[in-house]
Amino acid sequence: MSPSKQIRVLVLNDMEKLDRTLFRLEQGFELQFRLGPTLQGKHVHVHINYPAVGERFDRHRFHTLDWVNPTGREDDSDKFCSLDLQIAGSYQYYFGHEKEEKSGGGYIVVNPVLRVGADNHVLPLDCICIQTYLAKCLGPLDEWLDRLRVSKETGYNMIHFTPLQTLGESRSCYSLADQLEVNPEFSPPGQSYTWADVGNLVEKMKKEWDMLCITDVVYNHTAANSAWIRKHPECGYNLLNSPHLRPAWVLDRALWHVTCDIADGKYAERGVPALIQSEHHLNAIRGIFWQDVFPKVKLWEFFQVKVEPLVEQFRTLLQTGAKPDRSKTDGKKQLRVIQDPQYRRFGNTVDMNAALEIFVPNGNSPGAVEDCCNWLRKRLEELNAEQYREVNYHQEQATNCCLGTVSYERLAGHGPKLGPVTRKHPLVTRYFTFPFKESTLEQDLPLMDQPDKACHFLAHNGWVMGDDPLRNFAEPGSNVYIRRELIAWGDSVKLRYGNGPEDCPYLWAHMQKYTEITAKYFAGVRLDNCHSTPLHVAEAMLAAARAVRPNLYVIAELFTGSELIDNVFVNRLGITSLIREAMSAGDSHEEGRLVYRYGGEPVGAFLQPSLRPLVPSIAHAMFLDVTHDNECPIQIRSVFDSLPSSAIVSMACCATGSTRGYDELVTHQISVVSEERFYQKWNPQAKASTPGEVSLQSGIIAGKLALNRLHQELAAKDFNQVFVDQVDVDIVAVTRHCPSSHQSVVAVCRTAFKNPKHHKYSDEVPPMFIPGKIEEVVLEARTVERQAGSYRKDEKSINGLPGFTVEIKEHIQLKDSRVVKQAGVTSRGRNEFVQEIVFERLTPGSVITFRVSLDPKAQELVGVLRNHLIQFNPHYAAGSVPDKNAPEILKTPLTQVMEKLTLADMNVLLFRCDSEEKEDGGGCYSIPGWTALKYGGLQGLLSVMADIRPKNDLGHPFCDNLRQGDWMIDYVSNRLVSRGGTLGEVGQWLQAMFGYLKHIPRYLIPCYFDAILVGAYTTALDTTFKLMSSFVQEGSSFVRSLALGSLQMCGVGRFPALPPLSPALTDVPYRFNTITNQQEQCCVSMAAGLPHFSAGIFRCWGRDTFIALRGLLLVTGRHMEARNIILSFAGTLRHGLIPNLLGEGVSARYNCRDAVWWWLQCIQDYCNMVPNGTNILQCPVSRMYPTDDSQPQAPGTVDQPLYDVIHEALQRHMQGIEFRERNAGPQIDRNMRDEGFSIVAKVNPDTGFVYGGNRFNCGTWMDKMGESERARNKGIPATPRDGSAVEIVALCKSAVRWLVELNKQGLFPYTSVNIHRGGSKLTLSYEDWNRNIQSNFEKMFYVSQDPNDPNEKHPELVHKRGIYKDSFGASSPWCDYQLRPNFTIAMVVAPELFTVERAWEALNIAEKKLLGPLGMKTLDPDDMVYCGVYDNSLDNDNYNLAKGFNYHQGPEWLWPVGYFLRAKLYFAKKLGKETYDKTVYLVKNVLSRHYVHLERSPWKGLPELTNENGQYCSFSCETQAWSIATILEVLNDL
């Protein structure tokens, strides 16, 4: 089985611009774009310049991706658009929505696939071992293979050539005279080799040697003597097309003449001889600059204005009565110098319009005009002085830069020591070409005003220390040339591309042809001087190269100093690998850190899913021991360090390499400019002293061959996990580990940054402990001295130190090692062997590499474990072995075991918080020194692992706990085994898998524990969803995540929470009680919220249960559980009410007025949503309290059909309910005042409204009772909501309307309620009751926009119009007028009560004032008692806050959001498509925040409430039944 397709998901967020973030992908991957919360509901369009099928890549051509909505529903939170990535390169994407064309974007980089050999097999990027050659040192082409064979025989598989083109007169490898011609030096006399001949050689190496070749492309400059630049001077920066360089050219000529004068001895008497040897000489040069050069060239004149002509122009304007045009000034009265674009002396001017605005004459008299002109003259002279000072700063910097260069080149110990100043070695490098006869400065300067001459003064290229790499230093606005900040390459002319081909057609065409030739013959390119190459140029050229060779390998070395800026280059150019250098490390510790940084996962990393988020990465590294343009390591470190540092580099999980000469121990940098000797040829029999030839005995070649082979084997065999151990100051151990075979290779390298001959290294080498069984010593090697004569620099070939070679042994047994003294085996627990290695001769400069396997028994058990994991992921097939002695339970796939579980079982398997577990005598697993898991079930573990897995956070306390012992492993299986039944079977399956797990090395336990649990968890979820409704099965991930809330909240505890149902009822679940030895009912009950309302007497609440039941049970298809809960609560009806706190029925409290109406609403929903749902009306209800005062009755004693119980509830309300709670007093409520225990619920006969309560109790969901004696709110409800609460009136309306309909269908036998008033019997029909509420509702509840509305009893209390009151007839009338979210509930259950336009206006006010990020504010923030932060522990003097008095006075509760959104959707539909579409957007946008919370919450739920603006509230339940349920209902409505 091949591993499943790799899919990466990139989540788009509004305004997120990721141009500096690197996303790397492989060919064959699928990339999916999905919408983040900020974009949900918007019409987003995604564009990318990845070529459409059959098209060629054009980076300016974008096409729009199509959205795929897997569910096909309005809830499209899972929709995505995707790309199948088959073509290498860099691609830009952007997205927008509605009118925003671009509201975010970024880049993706797809890696090339490289192929070698006659069979064209793949060369993985991490297998690359590259070696650099200076092409000019290879000699004639017919001799190349003899010289290149050295690389083949040393184990390299890629050659990097410096440019192969004709070189300029400086002979620098990077100064090219003709980009299109092969260097004629490669052709011996009588031959004329072409690119085709070079191509044939490259192809031969690819096919026969399995080697690829790449070469440099140089876009920034050309040789100063290039013939084509003479013909096309517009291709460089000259004084015609770049007049801003004129002042810099003048200074450059002046400095050249200083060089000539010093060389000719003219300054000797002023203390500056031709040979500069001291600081005194430097100071004398500084004097010459300031006394002779600057006064003579007067650079400031290029930046100044000519005062008198401007004053005259101004005078003329004043005399003709000119007035300023204010539309042209920016309102700032400032006179600024306007730079002359041609940079002539005194060519600058000022804005006369601004002058007229600033200098206004006092009248028209000649005197007034003259005064004005004098003011302007004074200001112009001030401006000239400012410009003079500015140029002076430039001259100071120029002086410092020049003297810094002179000091480095002629005085510094580490500099080139150039000797006397001559015309060949000038004082400072020239910045411009001067292709004319030498003359005096006075004769030179007029040439810049002659166009035919000025066009040939071309600016040299170079580099600027600390400059912004994204800025071109030769363009206007940069002062690099005048300030002499450029470290110039005097042999190269900087090329001027402009903004595109139209700006310089010849140059673009020439360089494109050069690029295409290179791409035709070479597998890849190195972008020379990449950080200074204009990005748009490199982009266009690489696009041309990829058109020729789609899988072009692109490397570059960047010196930006910033990873983010590096990413800009990598993204825009599609760079495959960035060159990194081990020489940048100052010590072995840093060298080891670089290995860890540049590739690989940690050892024991988790297996990542094949579909996962696309995460930012760092650029793929090409890690070199040294690059060809840096100093020789032997000069900086020691010859003995060459081998161990190479070994450290070779162990890196990335591309690696070196430069020719390093392995031969060449003692100097092979200069790209001055080196003219040839590389040595390969001769297997060559002796150390043979000039011009090398063999395996030369330098460290034998060691490098072994290391390169090992590097390639490790990458090819997926040893992609890395561990770096700093054993001591000089010793670095690098482990590469294969996650499928669990083999490791450990390289122990003793570096020698300092020469052991002069530096005392410790003889004490600490022992090493290597876990596992050492199979062999792959290699042991060290650099040793030999008798081969002393080093003499050969005149014809580039030779290295003959007196050193490598002593190496490969593939030997540990006992035969000369480096290891002894290896003892110690056991660290079951099947975990650790070998202690004591070193004998691990001298500085030596390397030993071990191949390590697991202990054979552990190896077998890992294989067996992987075999059993294949059922979850085919990836585990690699390294798996069949299980010959599998326990019986493991012979059945886990899916089959789990198919026998019920959803109540799934509650145990996946969830159950600490208090639920404790009820069973257990508890959630607690990790010492960290925290307890949220759940006893699998979700508790998976929530933690979901955070650890993507980051491979193996140092997490969770992973530590797994490595230290089997406690957590045993907890998981024992918890289920102890339950017996099918859950016990799942426990046995886990136990059997853990049996293998416990016997593998501890460092591997976290990743395999994760694999087992992920497999079990996903299987459980698949099984769960199959048992739910089609809405869930076919729903989005969001729907499914919410549906898990049904499992979370609904379960069966150790003690049944629900009162028993009638024995006459069929399909009731039973279980055997081991304590009573009898069968007992075990119906699922619903917790109100976790963790606070999950177990014992506080688990079940009437109101919470029936607000949540529709969403959690009916929408998810759990009809039987819903029926049982409805009937169980029906059995507890007493006084015409359903209990608030259920207390198993026997301890019920009947102190709420709304639970009975929510119960009735659920019965209605059940009848409407469940197939044959009205059958429930006939179901027997076992009445616990047949009369108000009866003792609890045994089940079946008094049975009634449900419709009778319904009728009784309504009849009792119409009759009027009035009673005092049983056991009233502190024993049932320690905060309630005595008056609060009196319960009243009645119906107003005039309006049909249910009303009740008093100011000392709270009968609705806003039920906070004051608790603070200090603040004097104890016993006073914060929100009594007495009178007629808006949602209760609507729930009552919904119920009576439904009963009228049922009666008409013959499903409900009653048409009316009978009551007794004053001794007489009265009858009120349900139809009349229904009509009554309908006709009075808006009259009494709507707060009209009309201040004179006759229905308004208290106009003085109105503070918001166009809303619906929260209640009607409250004992404190102002409470009626408070804006709260409760009317939105009424709109959903009885929408017929509302006029559409009024409802819409009220909903918009609620949206504006009450809607928060996750919840609805429970009170208008404009209300004087509003407070949005709930703190139940705070006790102070504040009446409105103490002891959480503001529970419902501002904090944002989640469940009303569901009703608000459902109401919006309902009324939006009535208002037409446009309104509905906008509302759908709002709904999706709001719900996206719930989705994010759900995904991130370790509880995998939605909280009870948040503090204001969505802030976390620590006193809230972390997950609440009704919060999840009402959000699920919104998605169901969509």
Tell me which residues are annotated as active site.
528, 531, 629
User: Between 1155-1169 and 1119-1130, two packed helices, what is the crossing angle to 10 degrees?
Assistant: 140
Per-residue burial over 1066-1076, b = 16 or more CB atoms within 10 Å of its CB, e = otherwise: eebeeeeeeee
Pairwise CA distance, residues 1528 & 1180, whole Å: 30
3-state secondary structure 1078-1140: EEEECCCEECCEECCECCHHHCCEHHHHHHHHHHHHHCCCCHHHHHHHHHHHHCCCECCECCC
DSSP type of residue 290 = I
* φ and ψ of 1472, to 5 deg: 105, 165
Residues 1257 and 1236: beta-carbon distance below 8 Å: yes
SS3 966: coil
Per DSSP, the residues of 27-83 read TT-EEEEEE-TTTTTS-EEEEE-SPPTT----TT--EEPPPB-TT-SS--TT-EEEE
Measure the N-to-C terminal CA separation of the chain; round to a whole number of Å. 40
- The token pair at 1432 is 């139940």
Pairwise CA distance, residues 1135 & 1209, whole Å: 8
Pairwise CA distance, residues 1473 & 871, whole Å: 48
Nearest to 1061 by CA among 1093, 1027, 1096, 1085: 1085
User: Between 1473-1496 and 1037-1049, two packed helices, what is the crossing angle to 10 degrees?
Assistant: 60
**Is the CA virtual torsion 130, 136, 138, 144 positive or negative?**
positive
Per DSSP, the residues of 1463-1512 read HHHHHHHHT-HHHHHHHHHHHHHHHHHHHHHHHH-TT-S--SEE-GGG--
- The token pair at 789 is 């004569």
Pairwise CA distance, residues 746 & 651, whole Å: 9
Per DSSP, the residues of 244-257 read GGHHHHHHHHHHHH
DSSP type of residue 289 = I
Pairwise CA distance, residues 133 & 667, whole Å: 16
Residues 1040 and 1532: beta-carbon distance below 8 Å: no
SS3 387: helix
Sort strands 820-827 and 721-726 into parallel, antiparallel or unpaired: unpaired
DSSP type of residue 419 = -
Pairwise CA distance, residues 1068 & 1121, whole Å: 9
Q: Which amino acid is at 1117?
A: G
Pairwise CA distance, residues 989 & 981, whole Å: 13
Pairwise CA distance, residues 163 & 527, whole Å: 11
Residues 601 and 737: beta-carbon distance below 8 Å: no
Residue whose token pair is 């609620």: 1406
Per DSSP, the residues of 257-270 read HHHHHHHTTTTGGG
SS3 724: strand
Pairwise CA distance, residues 850 & 859, whole Å: 17
Residue whose token pair is 């006010």: 1405
DSSP type of residue 667 = S
